[in-house]
Structure 1
Amino acid sequence: MPNKPWLNDYPHEVPHTYDYPNQNLAKFLVDSAAAYPDHTVLDFMGKEISYSSLLKSVYRFANALLRLGIRKGERVAIMLPNCPQGIIAYYGTLLAGGVVVMTNPLYVPREIEHQLTDAGVRMIITMDALVNRVNKAMEKHPLEYTIVTGMQDYLPFPKNLLYPIKAKKDGMSAKVIYSHKVLSFKKMIAQSSEEPCEVKINALEDIALIQYTGGTTGFAKGVMLTHMNLISNTIQAQLWFYKAKIGEESYLAALPFFHVFGLTVLLNQAIYIAGKLILLPRFEINQVLKTIDEQKPTIFPGAPTMYIAIINHAEVQKYDLSSIEICVSGAAPLPIEVQEKFESISGGKLIEGYGLTEASPVTHVNNIWEKRKSGSVGIPVPDTEARIVNALTGEELPLGEIGELVVRGPQVMKGYWNRPEDTAASLRDGWLFTGDLARMDEDGFFFILDRRKDLIIAGGYNIYPREVEEVLFEHPNVEEAVVAGIVDPYRGESVKAYIVLKKGCTTTEADLKSFCKERLAVYKVPKVYEFRETLPKTLVGKVLRRKLIDEEAEKLVDQAKVDI
Structure 2
Amino acid sequence: MSVYDDKPWLALYQQGKPHGITPEFANVVDMFAATVATRPNADAVRYFDGRITARELDELSDAFAAGLADTGFVRGDRVAIYAQNVPQFVIAQLGTWKAGGIAVSVNPMNRARELDLILRDSGASVLVCLEGLYRDVAADVVPGTDVRTVITTSELEHQTRCDKRVFSGVERIDCAGTVDMATLIDRFRGTATPKVQLDPDDVALLTYTSGTTGPPKGAMTTHRNVVFNAQTYRDWIGVGPDDVLLGAAPLFHITGLIAHIALSLLTGAPLVLMYRFDPEVTIETIRDERVTFAAGSITVFIALMNAPNAERSALASLTKVYSGGAPIPPSTVRAFQDMFGHYIYNVYGLTETTSPSHAVPVGADAPVDPTSGALSVGVPVFDTVVRVVGDDGRDLPPGEVGELVTSGPQVVPGYWNKPEETAKALPGGALHTGDVGYMDSDGWFYLVDRKKDQINAGGYKVWPREVEDVLYEHDAVREAAVVGVPDDYRGETVKAFVSLRPGRSADPDELIAFCKERMAAYKYPRQIEVRDELPKTVTGKLLRRELRG
The bucket for the TM-score relative to the shorter chain is over 0.9
Separation in 2, partners of 1:436, 1:59: 41
1:143 and 2:147 correspond = yes
User: Which residue does 1:51 correspond to in 2?
Assistant: 54
* Matching residue of 2:384: 384
Quote the Cα distance in structure 1 between the aligned partners of 2:324 and 2:456.
26
CA distance in 1, matches of 2:472, 2:99: 48
Question: AA paired with 1:226?
Answer: T
Does the 8 A contact of 2:464 with 2:483 survive in 1? yes
Shift of 1:6: 7.2
Deviation of 1:360 after TM superposition, in Å, equals 0.5
TM-score (norm 1): 0.91
Q: Which of 230, 233, 240 is the matching residue for 2:229?
A: 233
What is the distance in 2 between the residues matched to 1:382 and 1:216? 28
Q: Equivalents in 2 of 1:12, 1:416: separation in Å?
A: 31
State how far apart, in whole Å, the 2-side matches of 1:217 and 1:401 are. Answer: 25
1:30 alignment counterpart: 33
Task: String of CA shifts for 1:384-427, please: whole Å, max 9, x gaps.
Answer: 00010013x21111221111000000110110111111100111
The answer on whether the counterparts of 1:61 and 1:88 sit within 8 Å (CA) in structure 2 is yes
C-alpha distance in 1, partners of 2:219/2:366?
Answer: 31
Matched residue, 1:199: 196
Residues 111-510 of structure 1: pairs in structure 2 closer than 5 A: 111-132=114-135, 133-141=137-145, 143-156=147-160, 159=162, 170=169, 173-178=172-177, 182-194=178-190, 195=192, 198-204=195-201, 206-242=202-238, 244=239, 246-317=240-311, 320-370=314-364, 372-374=366-368, 375-391=375-391, 393-510=392-509
Provide the residue aligned with 1:554 in structure 2: none
Alpha-carbon distance in structure 1 between the residues aligned to 2:382 and 2:172 = 47
User: What is the identity, as a one-letter code, of the residue corresponding to 2:461?
Assistant: N
**Structure 1 gap ranges (5+):** 552-564
Q: CA RMSD in A?
A: 2.0
After superposition, what is the alpha-carbon deviation per residue over 1:108-155, rounded to whole angstroms, capped at 9, x for unaligned?
111000000111100011111121311212232252100111122212
- SS at structure 2 position matched to 1:261: helix
In structure 2, the CA distance between the partners of 1:310 and 1:263, relative to structure 1 (3 Å rule), is same
AA matched with 1:338: T
Alpha carbons 1:11, 1:370 under 8 Å: kept: no
Q: Work out whether residues 251 and 278 of structure 1, in 8 Å CA contact, stay in contact via their aligned partners in 2.
A: yes
Structure 1 11/496 Cα, relative in aligned 2: closer, same or farther at 3 Å? farther
Q: Distance in 2 between matches of 1:24 and 1:356?
A: 21
Aligned equivalents of 1:22 and 1:47: distance in 2?
30
Q: Is the 8 A contact 1:59 1:197 kept in 2?
A: no
Q: Tell me, in whole angstroms, the C-alpha distance in 2 between the residues paired with 1:349 and 1:216.
A: 29
The AA in structure 1 aligned to 2:76 is: G
1:440, 1:64 → 2: CA distance?
Answer: 50
What residue number does 1:556 align with?
none
| 8 Å CA contact retained: 1:290, 1:319 | no
Contact 1:97/1:199 (8 A) holds in 2? yes
2:60/2:189 contact within 8 Å kept: no
Distance 2:363 2:9 in 1: 12
Contact kept? 1:24, 1:95, Cα under 8 Å: no
| 8 Å contact from structure 2 (residues 457, 492) kept in 1 | yes
Name the amino acid aligned to 2:419: P
Instruction: Report the AA paired with residue 115 of structure 1.
Output: I
Q: 5 Å matches for 1:47-86?
A: 47-86=50-89
Shift of 1:547: 0.8
Q: Is the 8 A contact 2:25 2:31 kept in 1?
A: no
Measure the CA separation in 1 of the matches of 2:73 and 2:197.
14
Q: 2:109 and 2:530 mapped to 1: Cα distance?
A: 26
Does residue 106 of structure 2 align to residue 103 of structure 1? yes
| Deviation by residue 1:159-194 (Cα, 9 ceiling, x = unmatched) | 4xx98xx97x8276533114xxx2111111111143
In structure 1, give the amino acid aligned to 2:131. Answer: D
How much has 1:339 moved relative to structure 2? 0.8
In structure 2, what residue type is equivalent to 1:522?
A
Q: How far 1:223 moved relative to its partner? A: 0.6
Tell whether the 8 Å contact from 2:119 to 2:146 is kept in structure 1 after alignment. no
Which residue identity lines up with residue 87 of structure 1 in the other structure? Answer: V
2:64 and 2:422 map into 1 onto residues whose CA distance is 33
Letter in 1 for 2:398: L
Is the 8 Å Cα contact of residues 484 and 492 (structure 2) preserved in structure 1? yes
Residue by residue, what CA displacement relative to the aligned partner does 1:483-504 show, whole Å, maximum 9, x if unpaired? Answer: 1111112212111010111122
SS of residue paired to 1:486:
strand
How far is the alpha carbon of 1:314 from its aligned partner?
A: 4.0
C-alpha deviations, 1:305-331, integer Å up to 9, x for none? 111112223441375211100111011
1:439 is paired with a residue whose SS is strand
Change (3 A) 1:172 1:450: farther
8 Å Cα contact 2:379/2:445 also seen in 1: yes
Q: 1:230 to 1:101 in 2, by over 3 A?
A: same
For residue 121 of structure 1, give the secondary structure of its aligned residue in structure 2.
coil
Alignment correspondent of 1:21? 24
CA contact (8 A) 1:76 1:123 kept: yes
> 1:241 Cα shift?
1.3
Query: Which amino acid in structure 1 is aligned with residue 195 of structure 2?
Result: E
Question: Hey, what's the Cα distance between the residues in 2 that align with 1:322 and 1:213?
Answer: 35
How many residue pairs get aligned? The number is 533
Distance across 2 between alignment mates of 1:453 and 1:408? 22
Distance 1:171 1:148 in 2: 14
Alignment partner of 1:332: what SS? coil
| Residue ranges of structure 2 left out of the alignment (5+ in a row) | 12-17, 369-374
1:519-544: CA deviations, max 9, x gaps?
11111100000010000111111111
| 8 Å Cα contact 1:63/1:197 also seen in 2 | no
SS in 1 for 2:275: coil
- TM, length-normalised to structure 2: 0.93
CA drift at 1:217: 3.9
For 1:10, the aligned partner's letter is K
Counterpart residue number, 2:43? 40
Distance 1:278 1:171 in 2: 20
Residue 210 of structure 2 aligns with an amino acid whose one-letter code is G
